């Protein structure tokens, strides 16, 4: 067990969960990937569900940090465009996360974890966009962003960061934010 930590287990589990989903990964799979015994794995965590919860908490913490950084922009338009880019960049970086989020009906063992993660993510985005996006357009914008992320994830689209500038500008145009934001 020398050299192992709960953080190393969480990082490895994150990779496996994002690639194969919750049901596609067993404690045995995780132990093999880490080159430790299942008993050693259970020494750190009592269950796969507990590990999954920690993975989602870590992903949310990373996402929150990136959104908070985007909020440092002074102009509303720049702030909105940056939040859109951060949301999409995060989705590109964590492609498997989208699969996890839309699989909540199949993976009933962790449905509450996934629904809680979705709620927290939507609250974070809603709070970040408060005063920038009219309330009646906020849910629509979030759904557009989620649709783009689904395309990234399921169609294995080869979007690059440079495309995100274009996409975020088009979203601003779609919502006619250019004329409303300064």
- Per-block mean pLDDT, blocks of 10 residues, the chain (182 long): 77 91 92 94 94 92 91 86 88 72 62 84 89 86 85 66 79 70 54
* 142 is a domain residue: yes
């395309």: which residue's tokens?
151
pLDDT at 2: 47
CA distance 97 to 93: 9
* 11 is a domain residue: no
* 10 is a domain residue: no
pTM: 0.81
Angle of CA points 47, 53, 58, to nearest 5°: 130
Q: 122: domain range?
A: 48-180
Alpha-carbon separation of residue 41 from 27, 32, 110, 179 (angstroms): 8, 10, 19, 55
* 165 is a domain residue: yes
Cβ atoms 181, 77 nearer than 8 A = yes
pLDDT at 1: 46
Closest CA to 49 of 118, 107, 102: 107
* 13 is a domain residue: no
* 82 is a domain residue: yes
* 125 is a domain residue: yes
pLDDT at 147: 84
pLDDT at 7: 94
Q: What CATH number is attached to the domain comprising 67?
A: 1.10.357.10
Cβ atoms 132, 112 nearer than 8 A = no
Q: How many domains does the chain contain in total?
A: 1
* 104 is a domain residue: yes
For the chain, how many residues are written? 182
């Amino acid at each position: 067990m020398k050299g192992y930590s709960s953080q190393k287990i969480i990082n490895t589990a994150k990779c496996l969960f994002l690639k194969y989903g919750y049901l596609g990964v067993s404690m045995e799979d995780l132990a093999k990937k880490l080159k430790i015994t299942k008993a050693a794995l259970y020494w750190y965590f009592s269950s796969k569900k507990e590990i999954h919860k920690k993975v989602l908490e870590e992903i949310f913490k990373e996402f929150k940090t990136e959104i908070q950084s985007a909020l440092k922009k002074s102009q509303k338009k720049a702030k909105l465009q940056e939040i859109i880019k951060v949301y999409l960049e995060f989705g590109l970086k964590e492609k498997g996360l989208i699969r996890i989020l839309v699989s909540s009906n199949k993976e009933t063992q962790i449905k509450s974890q996934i629904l809680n993660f979705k709620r927290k993510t939507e609250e974070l985005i809603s709070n970040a966009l408060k005063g920038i996006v009219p309330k009646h357009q906020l849910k629509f914008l979030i759904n557009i962003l989620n649709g783009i992320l689904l395309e990234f994830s399921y169609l294995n689209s080869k979007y690059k960061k440079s495309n995100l500038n274009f996409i975020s500008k088009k979203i601003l145009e779609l919502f006619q934010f250019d004329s409303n934001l300064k």
